[in-house]
Structure 1
Amino acid sequence: MEISGLVSAIVIGIVIGVLGRLVVPGRQHIGILWTILVGIVAALVGTAIAAGFGVADTKGVDWIELALQIALAAVGVGALDRFKARR
């Protein structure tokens, strides 16, 4: 992976993490760094899943891929919040 790909993955991960956090209702007890990390992982996994289904490369905006990434980020933020709340 080139440096530009890494930087774009981080930027997209930040956006996806924030959007995923907005989808989860209530207040989350995790920091912004955890949100960013969850977003980066969700962006990468969502892209891999979309590629597996053959919807990762379409003309225009890849809405299905974006929805998968946000859903994965929401699940990740919710799971991490529950894990941190139990500690």
Structure 2
Amino acid sequence: MTRFRLGIPWLGVVALVIAGLVTVMAGQVRVGGGVMALGLFAGAMMRAVLPERYVLDIKVRSRTVDIAGYALLAVVTLVAFGVVKLG
């Protein structure tokens, strides 16, 4: 049985998404959404650029599906937090 280990790409994506959530909770909704979208977009770029052996922890399906999925989630997150009416 292999030991489960989280790598730098996964930690980078999760760190940016958590930073975005903390920013949203602090009251900066649009900025926080942008930070979360940046984290997802970074995941897409890492999946596109890095070799397979470095992205095993963010690999879900094929390379193309992963890149499209992460990029689509980034765009949806950015749009969703961008259309929020504040006040």
TM-score class, shorter-chain normalisation, is: 0.3 to 0.5
TM-score between the two structures when normalised by the length of structure 1: 0.41
* Greater RCO, CA 8 A, separation 6+: 1
More helix by share: 1
TM-score between the two structures when normalised by the length of structure 2: 0.41
